[in-house]
Structure 1
Amino acid sequence: MRLGSSWRSFQWLALAGFSLALTLGAEAQQKLDIAPRATVAIRDARLVTVSGETIERGTLVIRDGRIAAIGASAPIPAGAQILDGKGLTVYPGMIDAGTSLGLVEIPAVAATVDQGEVGDYNPNARALVAINPHSAHVRVTRYNGITNVATMPDGGVICGQATFINLYGTSPQEMAVVPSLGLVVNFPRLNVGGGGPFAAFRQPPPANIAEAIAARNRRVEELRQVLREAADYGRAKAAAASDPKIPRPATNVVYESLLPTLRGETPVFFRADRAQDIRAVLAFAEDMGLRPIIVGGNEAWVCAAELKAKNVPVILTGVLDLPNREDDPYDVLYENAAKLHQAGVRFCISTGDNGAHVRDLPYHAGMAAAFGLDPKVALRAVTLSAAEVLGVSDRVGSLEVGKMANVVVADGDLLEPRTRVKYAFIDGRPAQLTSRHTELYEQFKERK
């Protein structure tokens, strides 16, 4: 938070070139470091709703943190601050559905990494409590039009609870939209080695395929046993609640954290890339009565028919990755999204990054569009489709009346690298579009 003598008087928090200015007292500024909600009308702009038709010239009104009106002739409330949108395009803020943003600052410095817990089974670990709202990655990401991310823990088999946040706020609680979004599981995979640029650094595979399969099956059975024990714990609690004569089981935080998932209230984010592991996840989830979401999905196109039949969505995190195998075509992952769309599989696109490169989300979608995915579907894959996969499409992901005013205004196609986001609103608050990158540019732009 920026403090000092310059903050003892009223400050105008203005977006560059933006006539919208908001006055805050010094005491309020020191406490919040975020602008208050404003009533704003973005007039004469191109409005890309995503959920419906694009309005070539219209008005969008933001009031009380929500989208209050949108249309070619939407009424502007008295006292609203007007933003001239001529030549600009309004989009819903982008969503990265599979990151660790806020949990990792500098991967090589252990003190700045809070991505996972010790041990294999930590469903009670909550990503929200570990998020650093002042991470440099937040401002860098927001600058590029991303307003929301799903942040997921890592480590072990059951990693913990993911969270869905706004990229604006001074504390994790202020940023939280859905504090506990779902359970994150690193599904035990078949370790048979393989090529790739880092093959020499991987743990060596078992001596033969039979041993590899046996090792994977043991880990899967351990996971199944933990879930069964949690289900038994839940039934014992329910029985004790209905009959005072039945002793109540001792509270177990691990099992307690699994109960919403076992009741089907929250999904399970299974990390899996290879087709054989994805198919194993589908069988496991069906057997245990879980709501699976595949995270990764590099070979999801191989088993698209099964994913479609079981209505299991995929969060693609490898669009810009190198192929998994040496003899794969160079564009196999670039085309993954297009193949899933053609097969009718629900999916969205994510960077899968731990922070620094979440800002590149639009370019992942842009690459998919360059390799067969319809550009409108590509934009949807980082907005409304991401919201639908995460179960938050009633709040974010499109420009619709009543939804949270997470809105960005850009000077071109949002998926193009040359496009610049001019203004951004998160929860109806004008967000400062500065970052460490812009600060360094201003510091050194005159240097010769």
Structure 2
Amino acid sequence: MNQKNLPLRSLSGWVIALSLWLGLATAHAQITEKPEYGSFIIENVDIYPVTSDVIEGGVVVVKDGIIEHVGSNVKPDLSGDVSRIDGSGHRLYPGFIDSETQLGLNEIGAVAVTIDAAEVGSVNPEMIAQTAVNPGSVSIPVTRVDGVTNVIAAPVSGLVSGTGSLIDLYGYTPEAMSIDQRAGIYLNWPSSSKRGWWDSRSEKEIQDDYNEAVDQIDELFDDARAYHKMWQTVESGELDEQPDVNAKMEAMRYLFTQEARLVVRVNREKDIVAALEWATHQDDLSFVFSGVSEGWRVADEIAAADIPVIATALVTPSRSSDHYARPYQNAGLMADAGVHVSLSTFNTENVRNLPFHAGYAATYGMGIEEALKAVTINPAELWGVDDKLGSIDVGKHANLILVDGDPFETTSSIKDVFIRGYRVPMVSRHTQLNDEFLDRDVTN
């Protein structure tokens, strides 16, 4: 036997075994119940449109995936087969939107072959997250039955991670789930501080690394801007010669045509200030700042720059001297300063907890109304889809959740979820496990 082949064979065996195990696990978690599609009347329900006043005991009509009627409890005429849903004692909200997740890209954190959010290389703007989204991910039903109907699936690695995609959390293919496959390109702003207690670099080494990364960013955007202008002359007919096509630069062009935002991940006060300064010299780009854990320290500056942010309410303090509640207050303090805030979990498996992130933000200064906007209409405006999502208005997509109370309270339950007019099954891997062990045979 050739001993040199043993490691490869062993590895192949492990890959096959893992593939079989994943296949069995996925099959076991399959949702066999099909969604219901058609015309629906949700009546006797308290409607929270977000963009207008609450309508008590109102009615919403859904037809062909679109909201057709919103108003007082009047029975509109509908022909054909109509499903009536009694919403007595319940509230109807627009589906929640999480503006930065790895949902559909990552499955099992400890298994590398199930991780698609991180690409090889440092600069990957051409890598579109939607192409890697797994519609059969176990985490998707887990998330949507808790009221989250839309997410941004975003890559995470390198200097320029790739292009994030806005998706519905229902569909059999990535294309069927797609709202905007090129929502934003993600730039990880370099840190000018130690990364943690394990970081052994000297202050000089940290500064040198930071300066090198910023220089790389400047060079990248100078090249991308020149490439875009060159192709503009080609497209206008001013230049006859056809230049070479560069996939990375082609992806960056969407930033200069305003078809995609530049999402800058940045957290520390000093780095936020540096990113703000850099942004002032990029007046042909549309920015979003993501993370901004110390945004409260420079909230006025962010507001003055008119840059929207994506933040979370559930993190630990970034400095030992900070009050324990400061991270919970961060989003509210920025909103009070006039910053356009959207809330996110920055997660995969626990995107389902987005309503509770909003609950914390509401409790620690943001208020319920602003927190509700931060998971509905604000992210819809941020991504330029407020004509489709984010509120309960006639003509918008029927992405709706029916709740038996305040959705930010842990004691409330989501009773129904609609995505593009599909009444999706209220079944997930979690509910399956609950049913299995609730009715288990205790004699075995």
Instruction: Compare 210-219 and 115-124 and name the one that shifted more.
Output: 210-219
Query: Helix, strand or coil: the match of 1:178?
Result: strand
Determine which of 363, 366, 371 is the counterpart of 2:356: 363
Going from structure 1 to structure 2, the CA distance change for 1:288 and 1:437 (only over 3 Å counts) comes to same
User: Match of 1:20?
Assistant: none
1:321 pairs with 2:323: no
Alpha-carbon distance in structure 2 between the residues aligned to 1:230 and 1:256: 8
Q: What's 1:114 paired with? A: 116
CA distance in 2, matches of 1:330, 1:245: 60
**How far did residue 139 of structure 1 move?**
0.4
Look up the equivalent residue of 1:321 and give its one-letter code.
Answer: V
Match in the other structure for 2:206 = 212
Q: Which position in structure 2 is the counterpart of 1:299?
A: 294
- Alignment RMSD: 1.8
- Aligned partner of 1:86 in structure 2 is 88
Greater Cα offset, 378-387 or 143-152: 378-387
Distance 1:389 1:191, change over 3 A: same
Structure 1 unmatched ranges of 5 or more: 1-12, 14-28
The letter for the 2-side match of 1:166 is D
Alignment of 1:248-397 (within 5 A): 248-289=242-283, 290-317=285-312, 319-353=313-347, 355-397=348-390
CA gap of 1:424–1:243, structure 2 versus 1, over 3 A, is: closer
- The 2-side partners of 1:146 and 1:242 are apart by 43
User: 1:238: Cα distance to partner?
Assistant: 2.3
Residues 39 and 193 of structure 1: CA distance in aligned 2, closer, same or farther (over 3 Å): closer
Stretch of structure 1 that moved more, 69-78 or 375-384: 69-78
The residue type paired with residue 236 of structure 1 is M
Shift of 1:226: 1.3
TM-score norm. by structure 2 comes to 0.89
Q: Per the alignment, in what secondary structure is the counterpart of residue 418 of structure 1?
A: coil
The equivalent of 2:393 in structure 1 is: 400
1:172 aligns with 2:174: yes
- DSSP-derived class of the 1:372 partner: helix
Measured in 1, the distance between the counterparts of 2:422 and 2:396 equals 14
In structure 2, relative to structure 1, the CA distance for the partners of 1:214 and 1:424 (3 Å cut) is same
Q: Which moved more, 1:252-261 or 1:371-380?
A: 371-380
Question: Identity rate of aligned residues, in percent?
Answer: 35
What displacement does 1:88 show?
1.0
CA deviations 1:385-409 (Å, max 9, x no partner) are 1211222111101100000000010
Q: Distance in 2 between matches of 1:402 and 1:60?
A: 12
Partner residue, 1:10: none
Matched residue, 1:70 = 70
Contact 1:61/1:76 (8 A) holds in 2? no
* 1:221 and 2:223 aligned: no
The aligned residue for residue 154 of structure 2 is 152
Number of residue pairs the alignment of both structures matches: 409
Q: CA deviation at 1:66?
A: 0.6
The Cα of 1:308 is off from its aligned counterpart by: 0.8
Contact 1:273/1:299, CA 8 A, preserved across alignment:
yes
Residue type of the alignment partner of 1:295: S
Report SS of the residue matched to 1:325: coil
User: Please, which moves more after superposition, 386-395 or 92-101?
Assistant: 386-395
CA distance in structure 2 between the partners assigned to 1:242 and 1:46 by the alignment: 54
Structure 1 residues 56 and 245, CA gap change in structure 2 (3 angstroms): closer
Q: Secondary structure at the match of 2:265?
A: strand
Contact 1:149 1:167 in 2 (8 A): yes
Contact 2:377 2:391 in 1 (8 A): yes
Alpha carbons of structure 1 residues 53 and 390: separation in structure 2 relative to 1, 3 Å: same
Shift of 1:34: 5.1
**Map of 2:43 onto structure 1:** 43
Is the contact between residue 387 and residue 393 of structure 1 (CA under 8 Å) also seen in structure 2? yes
Query: Deviation at 1:244?
Result: 6.8
Matched, 1:187 2:181: no
Amino acid paired to 1:299: E
Look up the match of 1:58: 58
